[in-house]
């Protein structure tokens, strides 16, 4: 995965004149598409990743496509293995000043917004609740009062963001294996907030 990350970061930096997604954001973006797929052309996908229209030479485009395929396969494999899902930024979460989780969740929300209505066609309330920790950590909803209330409680914020790998697994099962997801959800019971938003506020971070 390290070589894949290096390839993606190199190409994003080389071709973008704006603020492209970094590797963690790309991983988050690809994770959202793995849960709820969206049909994107190569040009549409590149415009999102590079934050603008770009024209890669054929060699670099092939390298990018292969790297993204490797990321997608890794994500799919994790969702289908007993060990569970691991965020690309997992090893960097010990540093409270690091923005890796913010970047990852921001990328995930980019993918979510591409086809937002489709996420809520079925199981709307459950999807809202499961998305809340990711929305909380994305930084996109910090100004909304209901999320400020969560952010003012550091213990609650940390508890919710620590649940992200678990809720991603539940979301994947909900969209890709409804019967298994229903069984898991019934066993877990209540305890998640009945709201659609949120963000992590335990450390400073930039706005997109």
Could you tell me the CATH number of the domain that includes residue 132?
1.20.120.740
Question: Would residue 12 count as lying in a domain?
Answer: yes
* Helix (H) or strand (E) run with residue 102 in it: helix 100-114
Question: Would residue 85 count as lying in a domain?
Answer: yes
Q: In this model, does residue 199 exceed pLDDT 80? A: no
Question: Would residue 129 count as lying in a domain?
Answer: yes
Q: If you average pLDDT over every residue of the chain, what do you get?
A: 84
Q: In this model, does residue 19 exceed pLDDT 80? A: yes
Span 136-162, pLDDT tens digits: 999 999 999 989 999 999 899 989 999
Question: Would residue 199 count as lying in a domain?
Answer: no
Q: For tokens 């890794």, what's the residue?
A: 74
pLDDT of res. 10: 95
pLDDT of res. 202: 32
Cα separation of 197 and 120, whole Å?
14
- Tokens representing 32 are 């959202």
Question: Would residue 166 count as lying in a domain?
Answer: yes
pLDDT of res. 92: 66
For 115-153, where are the alpha helices, taking DSSP H only?
116-119, 124-138, 145-151
Span 50-95, pLDDT tens digits: 999 999 999 999 999 999 999 999 999 999 988 889 999 887 665 5
Q: How many domains does the chain have?
A: 1
Question: Would residue 147 count as lying in a domain?
Answer: yes
More confident residue, 20 or 92: 20
Q: Percentage helix, strand, coil, to 5, in the chain?
A: 65, 0, 35
Query: Domain range spanning residue 158?
Result: 2-188
CA 104 to chain centre: 5
Q: For tokens 């079925």, what's the residue?
A: 122
Q: In this model, does residue 208 exceed pLDDT 80? A: no
Cα separation of 72 and 8, whole Å?
13
* 189 burial type by CB count under 10 A (0-12 exposed, 13-18 middle, 19+ buried): exposed
Span 167-185, pLDDT tens digits: 999 999 999 875 544 444 4
């Amino acid at each position: 995965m390290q070589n894949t990350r290096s390839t993606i970061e190199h190409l994003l930096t080389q071709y973008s004149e704006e603020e492209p997604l970094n590797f963690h954001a790309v991983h988050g973006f690809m994770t959202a598409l793995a849960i709820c797929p969206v049909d994107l052309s190569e040009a549409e996908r590149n415009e999102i990743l590079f934050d603008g229209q770009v024209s890669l030479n054929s060699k670099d485009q092939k390298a990018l496509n292969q790297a993204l395929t490797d990321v997608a396969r890794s994500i799919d494999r994790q969702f289908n293995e007993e060990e569970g899902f691991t965020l690309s930024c997992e090893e960097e979460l010990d540093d409270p000043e690091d923005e890796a989780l913010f970047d990852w969740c921001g990328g995930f929300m980019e993918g979510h917004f591409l086809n937002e209505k489709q996420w809520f066609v079925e199981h709307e309330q459950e999807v809202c609740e499961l998305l809340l920790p990711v929305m909380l950590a994305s930084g996109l909803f910090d100004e909304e009062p209901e999320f400020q209330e969560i952010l003012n409680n550091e213990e609650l914020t940390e508890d919710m963001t620590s649940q992200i790998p678990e809720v991603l697994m539940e979301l994947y099962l909900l969209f890709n294996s409804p019967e298994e997801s229903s069984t898991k959800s019934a066993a877990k019971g209540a305890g998640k907030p009945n709201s659609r938003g949120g963000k992590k506020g335990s450390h400073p971070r930039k706005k997109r």
